[in-house]
Structure 1
């Protein structure tokens, strides 16, 4: 579990830090946990951990199974989570990171979600170049011909790829993938490397780099991308551009509760 839990925060009191880390540790367990296992995880004495557990239990953050004596998260966490859920919608959570990505790359940035089987643009942040894109929130993108779409085909519901593969694949440009087998190979490549591109596939002379965003359950809930002219985002993009997009997607995912 040491790779899942954050390290102690600099400046935090050791007592508060340990209590918070115990709550986080319990939240990621598959079921109630023994006092000994908790103490071992943090290299603390059973007496110290027990004292924290009693305090947390008194406030409803932890509960003890009466039959086994094991500890689990309390109902208070669920209550607080539900109370705060509305503050963590995807666009609101992602916006500061998307702006930073725009500033870092100079390119326009988009975030999309799957709505009724279609990849839909939720927000577009214009870039710092002379080119502006007319894509508006609510615009639907082709699953087979966009970098966003390929992310959803690679990491979204399995039935999505089956449906697209069996339907006609219209050509938006001469470079649009219209062959199901070619699309399958492209999606497999996206799945392997964790990001996608679509040079000239939607608009000639334009390319996009997209990456997946996950929620606390590891579900794909959004895709983000930079989009720009191929002179700025070549068909074989620079490592720095890819790392910027993928890194941003990971930070947004972590903000949504995802653990890598």
Structure 2
């Protein structure tokens, strides 16, 4: 028994040594090919027939088919009524385990840092907290800027891009209750500014939120801080609910803060990458 334990320990040491050496480790070629098929199916985002899936993975169907049969046998893939390949029960279980382990704020950290470097602007990340849209992360720009936001700042749902982006993705009843407290937030307003007597949204505010949902981004010019512009985009989780909002901020005139600008595209793309990472529906 001791000899077996020693051999196992030596094997573990050898594996760790290989991993630490930085040298590429030799895998199993057939499994690498199988991985190409899985990656192609994920990239497509929909069920695929044999021929199309094989082409996407760079294989001929005759080579791909045995791999797909094995993937079906172990439950990683299955086939629908049309014979197209899609995720199987084991594949779905593995995906759910990965989603359960995700921490949106932790997973978004590298994207926030990369966005700050790519744009040269400050980047904030916010969530819908108990008091409203709350800044939980702030990556400062390398260029000096007078941005008065701090971690813990709670923002208006009416006068800030981050707040409107949160508001645009809340249910009507939750939003109405949240707007009742807007006056206590940074740049907040009295409820009757955007809420009618019957509790429905006033037309101008409802239209603005609809535009935020359609564009996938919102902007604020010199608000809530005079001289500072903001672009904010939503990030969704695997249930389709809002997970976080990411936003870039910079001095007015130092970047194009229009929602159709190149900077806006970069922000939207970062948000979309994170949504994909969190398993958000297409």
Fold conserved between structures, TM > 0.5: yes
Pair 174,62 (structure 1): closer, same or farther in 2 beyond 3 Å = closer
Q: Which runs of 5+ in 1 are unaligned?
A: 1-11, 30-36
Number of residue pairs the alignment of both structures matches: 240
Matched-pair contact (CA < 8 Å) for 2:157–2:167:
yes
| Residue equivalent to 2:5 | none
| Residue equivalent to 1:20 | 38
CA distance in 1, matches of 2:42, 2:209: 35
| Residue equivalent to 2:167 | 153
| Residue equivalent to 1:42 | 53
Q: CA deviation at 1:124?
A: 0.8
Q: CA deviation at 1:172?
A: 5.6
Matched-pair contact (CA < 8 Å) for 2:161–2:218:
yes
| Residue equivalent to 1:162 | 176
TM-score by length of 1: 0.71
Q: CA RMSD in A?
A: 4.0
Aligned ranges for residues 102-121 of structure 1 at < 5 Å?
102-116=116-130, 118-121=132-135
Aligned equivalent of 2:67, options 33, 52, 68? 52
CA distance in 1, matches of 2:172, 2:123: 27
Q: Higher helix proportion, which one?
A: 2
CA distance in 1, matches of 2:43, 2:187: 51
CA distance in 1, matches of 2:125, 2:64: 43
Matched-pair contact (CA < 8 Å) for 2:182–2:189:
no
What whole-Å deviation, never above 9, does each CA across 1:74-133 have from its counterpart, x for those lacking one? 443344335434653222322222212111222110111223472222211011221254
CA distance in 2, matches of 1:86, 1:208: 32
CA distance in 2, matches of 1:42, 1:25: 10
CA distance in 1, matches of 2:94, 2:106: 19
Q: CA deviation at 1:226?
A: 0.6
Matched-pair contact (CA < 8 Å) for 1:197–1:209:
yes
CA distance in 2, matches of 1:51, 1:87: 32
Q: CA deviation at 1:216?
A: 3.5
What whole-Å deviation, never above 9, does each CA across 1:27-63 have from its counterpart, x for those lacking one? 855xxxxxxx732543688866652333114434235
- Find out whether 1:239 has 2:254 as its counterpart: no
Aligned equivalent of 2:218, options 175, 184, 196? 196
Q: CA deviation at 1:15?
A: 3.6
181-190 or 246-255, which deviates more: 181-190
